[in-house]
Amino acid sequence: MSMRPRVRFAPSPTGPLHMGGVRTALYNYLFAKKLQGDFILRIEDTDQQRFVPGAEEYIIEALRWCGIAPNEGVGFGDGPHAPYRQSERKDIYRQYAEQLVQSGHAYYAFDSAESLELQRKAQEAAGSAFSYNSATRLQLTNSLVLSEADVRQRLQSGEAFVIRLKVPENETIHVQDIIRGDVHVVSSQLDDKVLFKSDGMPTYHLANVVDDYLMKITHVIRGEEWLPSAPLHVLLYRSFGWESVMPQFAHLPLLLKPDGNGKLSKRDGDRLGFPVFPLNWTDPVTGEVSSGYRERGYYPEAFVNVLALLGWHPSDDQEVFSMQELMEKFSLERVSKSGAKFDPEKTKWFNEHYLRQRTDEQLGLALRSLVKNSFGLEEDDPRMTSAFLNAAARLLKDRVQFEHELVVKGEYLFIAPDQYEEAVIAKRWKPELAEVFEAVINAYQAADSFTEEQAELIFKEVAAAHQCKPGDLLQLFRVMISGHGAGVHLFGMVSLLGKQEVIKRLQRALAVLQASV
């Protein structure tokens, strides 16, 4: 086996990439990068009946968005083992399937679907399940019981057939798994799996073993759902005589629902209001749109960070990792056997963390397009300057989890309120306070400077002159300017809006409040 690790992510283009699939890709990527190895994207499209248009492109785009770029593979450049789509490699698989027949490890089976259905019904009537295996294969229509001449004639006449693996009887097959240790199964529990189908395509079992061998894959890191197939794959390596180059296996734990009760599914996401796909996916048949993390406003760093911790546990209590840190610290030995419970709120927490790491300039740039789309402001509007937008972002960034919330929670920075929070007005407003706020307006009018500190000082001086505690007036003051009883730093907002805008808002609020008495 090569000392340089080579791993692959091998999804089927049968629909959108579930977050469990992205985690598999991520762990393969981190494992390869840590050890200066290669990470390959291979598309396993042997099941043409389940092929979904657009799924392959979705897989490639999802990996790019997450920053999980393969060294070689579909969409990422050819390496020495192209092509990387199994549908383009089918001639390769036929010769290997025939090789197993010649060596006695596989056989031709000519059973029709109808005859197999009759066998199933007969077995069910007898109270047992039918399996094509060592106990039944000699009673069926295959090259183990037919004469060579009969087999030759059937093949030459073009009769439909499949090639099945001849599973040995009563052997214990061992799989050494990096995560789970020694996994073993008695061969009598396995059926003679189809390796090559009548449509000229291999099954997953043959194709993935042949491709892993030809592409010099050293480690197969995949989901737990493939663990039952691992003994079969070990048998295939042995049948080909490739045991010395058989990759090491690591089967990752399941992703569980937030309550820990069962495997996470799209239905759980729809029911509980969180996506399970990295990107939006439109079903090409129904037109139904399933939401993705990207379109919901999550940063790829947050999505990747939470995925990394779904099954892998660092040696310390660190939670936030850059991709570089993940590469340095990741190891399969610290991946758990038990399922990992997904917490959608934790993903929001990670997104909030990464948003707060953004500079004011980065968020100001994001805010520009959001403001333009939400409020229709022209480019020459003072609220569209970089200085205003960056300052607005600085005020808002500690109050949001997503960039799109900047305009939702900060609307009053761009649009003057036309309604005022009634609960605050009912509690705080008294007609005699009109005189105080008119004095604030006059003092602001006369101010030469309108910095945050100066605006606060003037407000406090006016309050003191009218024998009022500033603390009794501040929430009402906020509502008059923003319409809300809570929000960003009050005098930071006042300074950002500027003297004339604050005066205009106070005058309007006073008029409304006095008219309501």
Q: Could you read off the pLDDT of 396-407 as tens digits, one per residue?
A: 999 999 999 999
Q: How is residue 276 written in tokens? A: 């399970």
- Burial, 34: exposed, middle or buried (Cβ in 10 Å; 0-12, 13-18, 19+)? middle
Cis peptide before 83 (omega within 30 of 0): yes
Residue 2, pLDDT > 90, answer no
For this structure, is 266 an active site residue? yes
Say yes or no to pLDDT of 1 above 70: no
- pLDDT surpassing 60 at residue 145: yes
- Count other C-beta atoms under 10 Å from residue 517's C-beta: 8
* Residue given tokens 């029911």 in the structure block: 271
Q: 6-78+205-254 is classed in which CATH architecture? A: 3-Layer(aba) Sandwich (3.40)
Q: What is the CATH number of domain 266-356?
A: 1.10.1160.10
Provide the pLDDT for residue 46.
Answer: 86
- DSSP code per residue over 384-407: GSHHHHHHHHHHHGGG-SSTTHHH
| Cα–Cα distance for residue pair 144/114, rounded to 1 Å | 20
Name which of 218, 201, 274, 264 is nearest 50 in CA terms: 201
Give the orientation angle of helix 230-240 with respect to helix 90-102, to 10 degrees: 70
- Please give the span between the terminal C-alpha atoms of the chain, in angstroms, as a whole number: 86
Confidence class for position 374, pLDDT limits 50, 70, 90: very high
- Domain range annotation of the chain: 6-78+205-254, 90-196, 266-356, 372-515
Nearest to 67 by CA among 19, 128, 25, 99: 25
What pLDDT is stored for residue 49 in this prediction?
A: 84
350 pLDDT exceeds 50? yes
pLDDT at 166: 98
Overall average pLDDT of the 229-238 stretch: 97
Quote the tokens at residue 452: 């945050």
- The pairing of strands 6-9 and 172-177 is unpaired
What is the pLDDT of the chain when averaged over all its residues? 95
Measured distance CA(260)–CA(338) in Å, rounded = 11
Q: Whole-angstrom Cα distance, residue 421 to residue 247?
A: 65
Residue 225 has pLDDT above 50, yes or no: yes
Radius of gyration from C-alpha coordinates of the chain: 33
Q: Catalytic pick from 216, 266, 329, 409?
A: 266
Q: 177 has which bridge partners?
A: 181, 249
Quickly state the pLDDT bin for 517 (edges 50, 70, 90).
low
Whether the pLDDT of residue 127 is over 60: the answer is yes
pLDDT at 48 (0 to 100): 80
In which band, very low, low, confident or very high, does the pLDDT at 198 lie, cut at 50, 70 and 90? confident
Residue 227 confidence class, pLDDT cut points 50, 70, 90 = very high
Average pLDDT over residues 82-90: 93
User: Which positions ≥6 away from 358 have C-beta within 8 Å?
Assistant: 397
Q: What is the C-alpha to C-alpha distance for residues 228 and 224, in angstroms, rounded to an integer?
A: 8
Q: What is the mean pLDDT of residues 221-229?
A: 95
Asked whether the predicted pLDDT for residue 351 surpasses 80, the reply is yes
Report d(CA 109, CA 106) in Å as an integer: 10
Percentage of the chain exceeding pLDDT 70 = 99
What value does the mean pLDDT take over residues 218-230? Answer: 96
CA distances from 28 to 24, 77, 208, 331 (A): 6, 18, 16, 10
178-195 tens-digit pLDDT:
999 999 999 999 999 999
Check if the beta carbon of residue 105 is closer than 8 Å to that of residue 64: no
Average pLDDT over residues 87-91: 91
Per-residue pLDDT tens digits for 433-460: 999 999 999 999 999 999 999 999 999 9
- Over residues 283-317, the pLDDT tens digits come to 998 999 999 999 999 999 999 999 999 999 998 98
Which alpha helices (DSSP H) does 127-276 contain, by range? Answer: 148-156, 204-214, 230-240, 266-272
- Report the pLDDT value the prediction gives residue 47, as an integer from 0 to 100: 83
pLDDT at 393: 98
What's the topology of domain 90-196? Glutamyl-tRNA Synthetase; domain 3 (3.90.800)
Both tokens of residue 183?
Answer: 């996994």
Fold of the CATH domain 372-515: Arc Repressor Mutant, subunit A (1.10.10)
Alpha-carbon distance 234 to 246, whole Å? 8
| Long-range CB contacts for residues 435-444, cutoff 8 Å, separation at least 24 | 435/466, 436/462, 436/463, 436/466, 436/468, 436/473, 437/477, 437/480, 437/506, 437/510, 438/510, 439/465, 439/466, 440/477, 440/506, 441/503, 441/506, 441/507, 441/510, 444/499, 444/502, 444/503, 444/506
